Amino acid sequence: MWIETAHFGLVLAFFLAVTGCVVPLIGAATLRRSWMDFGAVSALGQLALVAFAFGVLTLAFVTSDFSLRIVAVNSHTLKPMIYKVAGVWGNHEGSLLLWVLILTLFAAAVAVLGSTLPATLRARVLGVQSAVTTAFLAFILWTSNPFERLPVAPFDGAGLNPLLQDIGLALHPPFLYLGYVGLSITFSFAIAALLEGRVDAAWGRWVRPWTLAAWLFLTIGIGLGSWWAYYELGWGGFWFWDPVENASFMPWLIAAALLHSAIVVEKRELLKAWTILLAILAFAFSLVGTFIVRSGVLTSVHAFANDPERGVWILLILCIFVGGALVLFAWRATALETRGVFSLISRESALVANNVLLAISCFVVFVGTIWPLVAEMLFDRRLSVGPPFFDAAFTPFMVALAVILPVGSAIPWKRATLGKTLRRLTPAFTLAAALLGLAWALQTTQSLLGPIGLALGAWLVAGAVTEIFTRAGGRVSRLGRLPLADWGKATAHAGLGVTIFAVAALTAWEVEDVRVMAQGDTARIGGFEVELRKVENVEGPNFFSESATFLVRVNGVVQNPIVAERRFYPVAAMPTTEAAILNGFWRDIYVVIGDAQPGGGWAVRSFIKPFANWIWGGCIIMALGALLSLFDRRHRMAAGARRLA
């Protein structure tokens, strides 16, 4: 009963979205106030209906209602409750419903928070947003109905990929979707501005908090995904340049560029057309990402829920929206540009450089991601583009970005000279150079990767600290009175520095050891002792496992025991590995157990992973920076919460 009601609710939401698109857009064109206001009513109605449908679907998963096809295929009675809930979005239909839920959530947020926006702009933003919702609801209703019943309900479900039964991955998709879909709002703002034919400082101020929020969620989502890969996939990698990862990384890069160009629109009313284009591209890459993940066109290490035929639909949605947006852009954009002059040495130039580097690095990732497809279709060459390509082609742009960042973020607007800024940054530069030399002297390998990573990280963090102190006029007492946006900026930049350093340090200074160990054996790895205490068979709620307990001694001091497992999930007939990880501030000790050897003992692979946690620490710091910036008074005013300010 509930299932059918929810299905009907989705149909209603579809019609509400169609009217919610058409009516406000006509209202804005003909200046009819009541028609425009319908946009907000429709947005709230859509949210209520889609949230109801999503709630019913969640309930079906929680109560294991196997008469529902996707529950029968993706769930199982033995699965722990949290993964039953996460199973809602662990499949194609459910994840699309989550996507639409977030679309309507953002639209409703604009409807509620955007009461200070000009009425026509708000109506147009909500109209465009409803158009996107319409397309996705049609996609769900016609090809991917989550409420499809089975004629005969099976006795039990078919389970879910055991790799996905993990807290990191349960939370990863919702955050990514919040990011992807958050960019739909900036897209709607961009289209609305093109329809209005006006982009001004106020527009830049309105669009920034939404972009910030989307970027914040993307950062958390990507960080969670990378953390999951690190501890779950069994060899401690954190980034694989896999098509699906790239799919989330490209919108992140573009959103980062958009964040910065929107500042130029806000402060100087320049780069307007470019900012609009970035807003369109950011959402385009979100759709490309959804297409890549959902269609499985590019084979990937973790395309868990995909179907090529449905990919065509997403491609169609992508073509209509992005194609339409770009046509509109080509038609209206020239009218937007104003000519302002700024010198080569100025904040404007620095932000242009930021945009160029971010956009081109995104382009490199894009070309690398689709190249296997292009090469096969056009040149009949079957080839792979893997991490070694991306490491070589992408890294230089990031290094350039990190080198100019502290300087660019400190020089004044319009016309400036480098001398004063560079003098202020001398201590930061000296620190970075000293650390580079020190790391080079101390390390045993000849590779420059570690020292350069350390220097860049120190340069960014010290640069951020320098900037905060400069903003406070060099007085600690004034630090507390700085606007939150200043803190947010410095924090996010420092976070980037931490992540860059950690990635370089982990890649350069990791120690690996592969050997056969029997129970009671101790291995000495780079100053640590790892002892294999016992290996036993264990039975989990829905898996069997071979579990090995290790004792690690650091300088002779025994640490808490850590457990490595090899699990087998009978329902999915699939083995997985669980690494034993001793987390530490300076390094992780990471142990994986392998096959029992013919001559007795087990294969054991141990790693010392220096600064591993700093990678995600940096992501958290970046996200925190975005959060601080989001709570700056200016944005709260802009988002419409005037009473709070």
- Residue 475 phi/psi, 5-degree rounding, is -115, 125
* Smallest gap from residue 349 Cβ to another protein (A): 9
Measured CA to CA, the distance from residue 277 to residue 73 in angstroms comes to 41
DSSP letter for 89, please: G
* Smallest gap from residue 267 Cβ to another protein (A): 18
Measured CA to CA, the distance from residue 243 to residue 386 in angstroms comes to 10
Measured CA to CA, the distance from residue 133 to residue 141 in angstroms comes to 12
Measured CA to CA, the distance from residue 2 to residue 5 in angstroms comes to 5
> Among residues 422, 596, 644, 645, which is the contact residue for another protein, using CB under 8 A?
596
Looking at the Cβ atoms of 309 and 539, the one nearer to another protein is 539
- Is 254 within 8 Å of 281 (Cβ atoms)? yes
> Among residues 354, 421, 545, 606, which is the contact residue for another protein, using CB under 8 A?
545
Measured CA to CA, the distance from residue 298 to residue 309 in angstroms comes to 14
* Smallest gap from residue 388 Cβ to another protein (A): 4
Looking at the Cβ atoms of 348 and 588, the one nearer to another protein is 348
- Round the CA-based radius of gyration of the chain to a whole number and report it: 26
> Among residues 83, 215, 274, 397, which is the contact residue for another protein, using CB under 8 A?
397
Looking at the Cβ atoms of 240 and 429, the one nearer to another protein is 240
Looking at the Cβ atoms of 564 and 630, the one nearer to another protein is 564
Based on the shown chain and the rule CB under 8 A, indicate whether residue 300 belongs to the binding site for another protein: yes
Looking at the Cβ atoms of 234 and 408, the one nearer to another protein is 234
Stretch of residues binding another protein (CB under 8 A), selected from 50-58, 219-227, 592-600, 617-625 = 592-600
Looking at the Cβ atoms of 146 and 368, the one nearer to another protein is 368
Based on the shown chain and the rule CB under 8 A, indicate whether residue 450 belongs to the binding site for another protein: no
To the nearest 10 degrees (0 to 180), the angle between helices 272-295 and 308-318 is 170
Residues in 225-264 at the binding interface with another protein, rule: CB under 8 A: 234-235, 237, 240, 242-243
Looking at the Cβ atoms of 4 and 536, the one nearer to another protein is 536
Q: In this structure, how many other beta carbons lie within 10 angstroms of the beta carbon of residue 577? A: 18
> Among residues 85, 119, 150, 371, which is the contact residue for another protein, using CB under 8 A?
371
> Among residues 544, 559, 571, 627, which is the contact residue for another protein, using CB under 8 A?
544
Based on the shown chain and the rule CB under 8 A, indicate whether residue 398 belongs to the binding site for another protein: no
> Among residues 5, 77, 384, 522, which is the contact residue for another protein, using CB under 8 A?
384
> Among residues 383, 422, 434, 645, which is the contact residue for another protein, using CB under 8 A?
383
Based on the shown chain and the rule CB under 8 A, indicate whether residue 113 belongs to the binding site for another protein: no
Counting other chains too, the contacts that 518-526 makes at CB distance below 8 Å and 24 or more residues apart are 518/600, 518/601, 518/602, 519/601, 521/601, 523/604, 523/606, 525/606, 525/608, 526/608
* Smallest gap from residue 586 Cβ to another protein (A): 25
Based on the shown chain and the rule CB under 8 A, indicate whether residue 5 belongs to the binding site for another protein: no
> Among residues 154, 323, 387, 437, which is the contact residue for another protein, using CB under 8 A?
387
Residues in 174-193 at the binding interface with another protein, rule: CB under 8 A: none
Based on the shown chain and the rule CB under 8 A, indicate whether residue 304 belongs to the binding site for another protein: no
| DSSP string computed for 367-387 | HHHHHHHHHHHHH-------H
The two tokens of residue 452 are 């350069």
Based on the shown chain and the rule CB under 8 A, indicate whether residue 363 belongs to the binding site for another protein: yes
> Among residues 81, 339, 377, 419, which is the contact residue for another protein, using CB under 8 A?
339
DSSP alpha helix (H) spans, 144-271: 167-196, 201-232, 243-268
**Among candidates 134, 173, 149, 136, which has minimal Cα distance to 24?**
134
Based on the shown chain and the rule CB under 8 A, indicate whether residue 360 belongs to the binding site for another protein: yes
**Count of residues near another protein by CB under 8 A:** 59
Based on the shown chain and the rule CB under 8 A, indicate whether residue 595 belongs to the binding site for another protein: yes
Ordered strands of the 602-610 beta sheet: 511-517, 602-610, 587-596, 580-582
553 Cβ neighbours under 8 A, 6+ residues apart: 528, 529, 531, 559
Q: Furthest-apart CA pair in the chain: how many Å?
A: 84
Measured CA to CA, the distance from residue 383 to residue 201 in angstroms comes to 47
Stretch of residues binding another protein (CB under 8 A), selected from 159-167, 453-461, 471-479, 514-522 = 514-522
What is the pattern of x (binds another protein, CB under 8 A) and - over residues 560-579? ------x-x-x--x-x-x--
The two tokens of residue 634 are 């200016």
Based on the shown chain and the rule CB under 8 A, indicate whether residue 308 belongs to the binding site for another protein: no
Residue with tokens 């769900």: 140
Measured CA to CA, the distance from residue 450 to residue 337 in angstroms comes to 44
Looking at the Cβ atoms of 339 and 481, the one nearer to another protein is 339
> Among residues 1, 34, 382, 560, which is the contact residue for another protein, using CB under 8 A?
382
> Among residues 130, 211, 361, 491, which is the contact residue for another protein, using CB under 8 A?
361
Stretch of residues binding another protein (CB under 8 A), selected from 173-181, 217-225, 463-471, 510-518 = 510-518
Residue 262, class by beta-carbon neighbours within 10 Å (0-12 exposed, 13-18 middle, 19+ buried)? buried
Beta bridge partners of 347: none
* Smallest gap from residue 615 Cβ to another protein (A): 18
425 Cβ neighbours under 8 A, 6+ residues apart: 406, 407, 410, 463, 466
389 Cβ neighbours under 8 A, 6+ residues apart: 241, 368
Q: Length of the chain, please? A: 645
Stretch of residues binding another protein (CB under 8 A), selected from 61-69, 416-424, 474-482, 544-552 = 544-552
Residue 31, class by beta-carbon neighbours within 10 Å (0-12 exposed, 13-18 middle, 19+ buried)? exposed
* Smallest gap from residue 498 Cβ to another protein (A): 25
Query: Which positions touch another protein (CB under 8 A)?
Result: 234-235, 237, 240, 242-243, 299-301, 303, 339, 341, 344, 352, 356, 360-361, 363-364, 367-368, 371, 375, 378-379, 381-389, 392-394, 397, 514-516, 537, 539, 544-546, 566, 568, 570, 573, 575, 577, 592, 594-597, 603, 605
